[in-house]
Each structure stands twice: as C-alpha cells, then as structure tokens.
Chain A
Amino acid sequence: MSLTSDQRIDPDPDLPHTPSMPGDGLRDRSGYDLGTGLLGKLLRLLERLSARAAHSDSESKWSVYTGEGRATAAGNEWIQNIDVERLLRRPVARAAFAATVVINNKREATGEAGEAALLEEYRRQLRRIQDEERANRPST
C-alpha cells in the first residue's frame, strides 16, 4: 500500500479548480484511487474535524479596535492618488496658506470684503513665490 511520488496524479490544469484535500490523487499500487475509498473518506473527515478544532476564530475571545476607525474610511479614495506632500509644496498651495495667514491677521478683512482680500492676497503671494522660485532656479 506504499505510495511513490510518480503514483501521484497531478491535477488536470483544464479542469475547474477544486480545493485540494487530503487523499486527493492518491492511488495504491493496484491503481485504486484512495481518494474515493475508505481511507480518503477518513482523511477528509479527519481534515474537517481538525480544521474545525483548530479554527480558533470560533472560541470565546476579547476583541478590540485600538486605532482610529477604518483607515480607508470615506474620503480616502479621493486622495489616495495625490502626493499630498508634493502638492502642499507647490506654489499655489504655499501662496494660499500664506494669504490665509495674512488675512487672519487683518482685522478689517471679514465677510465678502475678506474673501476678496484673500483672493487678492493669494495673487500677490503667488507672484512672489513664483518670482522667488525663478530667482533660485540654477541658470543653465
């Protein structure tokens, strides 16, 4: 009843995939398929029972979330392709942050007038940053 490696029957790649089970493709010297015999059934039963016993997911346990909710929670699909660090270093972003800080410090800039002042300040800051970048660019 001993088996050699060449007596294993490789699964037919054209057949639909079925999960491999103990006893699959095993034949004894007389060519009897053990998978369909008593031994195969016994192996399958043992596999099922051991898998069930080892399936510790079903035992009572303490479970805890230690983080901040799902990392891919709503919104992240919008930004997953953005290089946030690079974007925040671009002149438009730097100018916008600089303009916001300036307007935050202007007491009179509130309401509609504040918004208009912000956009005006943004234009000014953008020009400044672009000029600085142009000046710092190495000459070729």
Chain B
Amino acid sequence: MSAAIDTDAAEDVLDPGEKKRLHERGALRFAFVVTMVLSFSSVVVTASGSWQYAESHWHAYLGFSLFMLISSTACHVYIFQFLPTRKRFKSDIQVVDADYERFRDEKSEFSSSLSEAQLPMFVDSLINPKATRSRIIEEIRPIRRVLHQSVSTTVKSTAVKDDEDEGNRGKGNEDVDVIYPLMTPPKGSLQDHLVLRINGDDTAATLTYHEYLVLMASMLRALLAAPKLKVSPADRDRLDAITSTAFGHIARRGRIESAQAKDLAQCVSDIERIATRLKDDQPGQADDEVELLRLTVGLITKMAGNYAIVVVLPHDVFQGGRAIVTYQRYIIPHLVRAPVRQLARYLRDRARMLLGTRPISLEIQLNNAALARSYHLNVFAPDGMHLGEQELINGNGRFSSRNEARKPSDPYKRFRKRLGQGYLHLYLRSIPADLADNLRVRMRFHETPPGSMAPTMMAALASFALIYIAGVVISAANKTFDSDFPALVLAFPALAAAFVGFDKGAGQLLGGTLASRASSLTTIIISLLASGLYMAQTADEMTRKSTFELMLIDSTWWQLLASLALLNFTVSSFVWVTRTYSYYWLASRDTGENTGWDGHR
C-alpha cells in the first residue's frame, strides 16, 4: 500500500505537461507494438498458412502486411531507440555576475594572502606551461567503456629558482605556497572522478571558483598597471572598460558562443590598437609595457575559452625546487566507425558490432605533449592483450631521424619496441604547440595466445570430427541408428562453441575476438544442421547419394556439412597458429637495450 502511495507521490512531482508527454509517448509506443505484432502475424499466416490457397488476392494482403510490418518497425526503432540516443543535453550555462570591480577590490583573507612571488609564477604557468612543467608522465588504462587517465607533472618552483639564481633577490620565496594551475580544460567540459595528489598523497587543495576569480582579477590588474601609466587618459579609460568586459568572459561558464566570440575579438583588437599606439608614440621606451599588453591579450583569450583548476602547493612539498602533482580522472573515448566508402571494412565493422566484439584500435591526441619539455605516455592493454601495432600520426617529418644530427631542442620521439608486452610507451621531447595540436598516436592491441581462438578451434575440431565420423559411418552402414542419441552428440559442439566463443571480453573497451566469434557461430550452425540432418535421415528424408565419394562419405548432405566443418576448423586453426606465432616472433625479438659501452674492444 505504501509503495502505491509512494508511486502516486512520485507522479505528482511531475508537472502536467511532462506527465501528458509521457502518456502520449506510452500510447504511441503501445500502438506501434500492436501494429508490429498484428502485421507480423499477418505476414506469417499469409506467407505460410494454407489460407493463401483459399484467397485469390493473398499476395496483395502479404504485400500490405509486409509494408505495415517494415514501416511500423522502422518508426519504432527510429522514435524509441535511435532518437533517445541523439537527444541533446541542455546544459545549464550559468551567467555569473562577474563585476570586475567587486572582485578586484575584494579585501578577503585570500586576496590578502596573495604574494609577490605567487602571481608571476601563476601567469607563467598558465601562458607558458613548459616553464614550470619539466616532465609529464601520462598513464591510460581502459576500464570498461572509459579510460582512466593519470597525469603526473613535475612542477618546478620558479620562486625557488630565482632564489638560487640571483642571490638574495627572491629571499623568503622558499616559504611561499605556490598557486599552480594544474589543468586548464576547455569550458563546458566536466571532469569525471577527478582526484588530485601531491607527491603521491591525497593532500591537494583547490581554489574555489570565487577565489579563482579574485586571483584572475588581481592578475589582470597587475598586468595592466605598467601600461596604464604610459598610455593617454582616454586609452586608460578604454583599458578599464575592456578589462571589465574581458573579465566577464573569463568568469563566464560554458563554451564561447558566436556573440561572445565577436565581443572578445573586439576587446582583443582594442588592446592591440592601444599597444600599437603606445609603440608608435614612445618608440623603444615602452617595449615592456607593449609586451605586457600582449600577454594580457593571451591571458584573456586563453581563459575565456578555458577554465583553470588551481591547486595550492604548500612550500614544503618542493624538494630541490620540484614537486610531483598528479591528477586522475575518467575520460570517455569517442567511437569512430568505419566509413561506408571503405566497404570491406564497413561490413567487417558491422559484423563485429553484431557479434559483440570491440574495436582493437585506440587513438590518442597528444595535446599534453606540448605542456612540458619531456612527455611520457603509457597506455596499458586490457588483460589478455598485447601491443600489436603502434604508430605516430602527423609527425610531418619534424622528428629527427636516427643518424641525423639535430639540436637538443628539436622534437624527438621514441617508442618502446613491441616485444609482446601489454603496454605502449612513447617518449616525446621538445614538442611545440603547433605540432602537438595534430599529433596522434594510434595503437592496436591483439589477443595474447591462446586467447579465445584456441577453445574456439577445439570446438570447431570437435564439430568436424563428429560430423565426419557420422558421415563416414552412415555412408558405410547405409543407414542411421535406431537411437536419437547421435543427434544429441552432434549438437554438443554447438553448446561448447556458444560457451567458449561468446563469453570473453563482453565488457572490455578493447577486444578483437571477431575471428573466434565468427568461427563459434559457424560451429553452432553446422553442428545444429548436422543434428537436424541426422534426425531427417532417421525419418528417411534427405538421403540423397552423391555420384562421387568425398573423404569416404557418399551422402551429398553429409559431404557438404563435413566440408564446411573442415573449412571452419582449417580457418580457425590457421588463425590460431599464425596469431600464436606472431606473438612469439614479437616476444623473441631483441629487446634493443644497450647494456653499456664496452670500450674499443
């Protein structure tokens, strides 16, 4: 009773419009299902029942029923299956009341805690990530439908470096906590299951949105202080107005839309005009101020499209001026399906989809490579798979070749050799932003033997052996046995194939078991056909003899089934043997590790 009351209460929560829409949808769905059932029954009865002989226009009924069945099924699938997957999620873009003056003039504990050393390092890390990030180690692990990403960044504290480099200039900086922009994801992107760690511990604290805005307001104020003293009063007022508008774009949540992009472009061109005027009016006297204006433009345009997740790194986490900051999150990869113009691949793709296998290819965009001087990517394969292929795409010949003498600052890449291991390791160094924008790494993971192919091959062998024995014995005896037991035995490999072929990798992101599943399906079909054929021959049906003997079998149908079973077994064993050998060929390669220079011996 209470459950019924709860349901009623839950329904009352829905507004009348939503309730009406749900009822209409339910009624439409019911109507389609009834139409489909009726038209399907009509097709079956019209096409196969004895009723057709009594009715001269049966083909017209059949055509109409088929039309109704196909059209109602298509509508049902489109409306209730396809459309919900394409339903656009309406994000709630929050327009923030970003009054620049309010955030700029805020006198809170946080704004007062900002120090002279923190602000330049923050802007440097935002605009010039390589200055503060010496190394990034990225790990990707497939988990079901998602990838678990772990990015460890070695952060250098420039405050400490100042101290080391220039005597007492940065005196006291070693006690300053560093405000560090750990990530600057594009606005509108949601971080799933984000975990932050400093030096391996769960101790990272992030700034709140309000603190982030106070920080950005202080940043803009500092960057424009010097130029404002050099420009005319009119330009100074203009700079104030532009800053206020630009701050609104920085504070805004959600992606930049066309109206905002236009407004932002106007801000940028205004600052550019002021910078040009300043350069022309005071040639050689205001170079630093002009560069600060350009830096402001860079900051505004970057932070209008991105938001920063800012962590506070306590001063005592830096050891030798370095700390390791790690973030972990889930990312959802996009499935790219084979295009129709590649017909063979398209058909294979669809067969793979229907048989429930997963793609074996993974492609990763290497944007992070531009954020640090040194970048390592490790991608781990799911259990039971090894790295089959690896390829860097869009390098555009900018990586130095083996024997080519290049500068240390030139882009460099190195893959860990494929040795049958279950991971990819790519090392990149000195990757400029324009190269990283299009740089991708593509990898394919293959099943490690014996994998799913060995049991599938055994099922195919069992199927062939039973069919062959049945064919030979029946041909020799020229009759079937009095028992139905052989029919059951013949069907047994179908059960085995269903068990061994379809139980693996169902939930994995990667898993190419197309060959084994196709072979299992063939085994199932052939075994059931053999069982059916035996039952038919017990009833003296399908007993046609061939004019020639094949593999000691003279019955035409047994010849056909035995040939198909042999083909299935041969193909599956060929695939199994070649895959096994290719794995061991990989595993037996020289590791290529240099064990050290042994002099001139």
Interface residues of A (CB under 8 A from B): 52, 55-56, 58-76, 78-80, 82, 84-85, 87-90, 92-101, 104-107, 109-111, 114-115, 118-119, 122-123, 126, 136
Contact = CB atoms under 8 A, between A and B. Distances in A.
A68 B105 contact: no
A59 B345 contact: yes
Contact of B116 (A62, A98, A115, A119): A98
Given A69-B367, A100-B221, A84 B433 contact: no
A48 B446 CA distance: 26
Nearest to B261: A74
Nearest to A74: B301
Contacts of A75: 297-302, 304-305
What 6 A-B pairs are tightest by C-beta distance, nearest first?
Answer: A67-B367, A75-B301, A61-B361, A79-B298, A71-B433, A64-B333
Most chain B CB neighbours (cut-off 10 Å) among A87, A109, A110: A87
Contacts of A62: 333-336, 359, 361-363, 509-510
Interface stretch (B3-11, B85-93, B119-127, B317-325): B119-127
B14 interface: no
A70 B435 CA distance: 10
A67 B345 contact: no
B442 A73 contact: no
15 contacts: A60-B337, A66-B147, A66-B367, A67-B365, A68-B371, A71-B433, A72-B433, A75-B305, A78-B297, A78-B301, A85-B131, A88-B124, A99-B225, A100-B114, A100-B221
B6 to A, nearest CB: 42
A134 to B, nearest CB: 14
Contacts of B127: 79, 84
Interface of B: 101, 104-105, 107, 111-112, 114-116, 119-120, 123-124, 127-128, 131, 138, 140, 147, 149, 151, 158, 162, 167, 183-186, 218, 221-223, 225-226, 228-229, 240, 268, 288-289, 291-292, 294-295, 297-302, 304-306, 331-339, 342, 345, 349, 352, 359, 361-368, 370-371, 389, 391, 433-434, 436-437, 442, 444, 509-510
B120 A66 contact: no
Contacts of B339: 58
Given A59-B345, A74-B301, A94-B120, 5 more contacts: A73-B301, A93-B222, A96-B225, A97-B116, A126-B226
A87 B295 contact: yes
Most chain B CB neighbours (cut-off 10 Å) among A97, A115, A123: A97
Nearest to A115: B240
A60 B359 CA distance: 6
B185 A71 contact: no
A110 B101 CA distance: 8
A59 B370 contact: no
A89 B265 CA distance: 29
A104 B367 contact: no
Contacts of B167: 136
Given A60-B361, A64-B331, A82 B291 contact: yes
A61 B124 contact: no
A82 B297 CA distance: 12
B230 to A, nearest CB: 9
A92 B292 contact: yes
Most chain B CB neighbours (cut-off 10 Å) among A67, A100, A107, A111: A67
Contact of B363 (A64, A80, A88, A123): A64
A100 B119 contact: yes
A72 B120 contact: no
A89 B127 CA distance: 15
B225 A60 contact: no
B229 A105 contact: no
Nearest to B443: A61
B306 A93 contact: no
Given A68-B306, A101-B119, A59 B359 contact: yes
A58 B338 contact: yes
Nearest to B228: A119
A60 B334 contact: no
A64 B367 contact: no
B336 A60 contact: yes
Given A73-B302, A88-B120, A101-B114, A61 B359 contact: yes
B437 A72 contact: yes
A83 to B, nearest CB: 9
Given A93-B120, A101-B116, A73 B306 contact: yes
A125 B148 CA distance: 48
A80 B298 CA distance: 9
Given A74-B302, A104-B111, A111-B105, A96 B361 contact: no
Contacts of B147: 64, 66
Nearest to B342: A58
B367 A68 contact: yes
B363 A72 contact: no
Given A66-B367, A67-B365, A93 B292 contact: yes
A55 B344 CA distance: 12
Nearest to A96: B225
A47 to B, nearest CB: 17
Nearest to A61: B361
Contact of A79 (B120, B225, B294, B336): B294
Nearest to B125: A84
Contacts of B124: 84-85, 88
A82 B363 CA distance: 33
A69 B185 contact: yes
A124 to B, nearest CB: 12
A68 B291 CA distance: 25
Contacts of A64: 147, 331-334, 362-365
A122 B292 CA distance: 15
